[in-house]
Structure 1
């Protein structure tokens, strides 16, 4: 996929020329793009779900019913997403499943640090220092505990 120059120029309009690193923050261009793409994908999932229900042998009159906020930890950031809902509550998103708080990739980073012999408190400090993520030692322990059985 290629992004044309006009689109790129439009995206870069709001970037502070005196502080170009700001585009890498959660509130910057990259953070906004992650959020917008994730929410667009969730909206498409709901549209597909509703279309399937309308075309089912016994169609339903289910429809969109707003959204709810959800915080999820991604590989390098914390995203505040608006998760779309349907009226009868049958929508099960695949990108960010119900009760899921971490996106794929986050667990892999924690596990790789743990495999290198870092203790839980050092992993916590590493995630805070590099990514600005505040995670509890209990979360790190639960992530590594999930893998230890395997």
Structure 2
């Protein structure tokens, strides 16, 4: 921490102050397994899905009822994976993280499946 402050404190004092103020909230994040940290930090996929949904809704304009809006959103989400191969990739990508979550949180993820 002090190395960071020495290296960047003169050029970016506001960032150093931000780190000092948020350090207590940030350090518990470092205690998680690397797989869990990777999942927490990867918001690109979520933002991509949100952008696709916004684009579909904006292109449609208005909806006569809630069912029509939900149908539009459903079709936008289903078009993200038209071949159906996404689930296989999802399982491979998340398997390590799900195992790490299960270990870190004492089986709370699998408790409902028994």
TM (normalized to structure 2)? 0.40
Higher RCO, 1 vs 2 (CA within 8 Å, ≥6 residues apart): 2
Greater CA radius of gyration, 1 or 2? 2
Structure with bigger strand share is: 1
Q: TM-score, normalised by structure 1?
A: 0.33
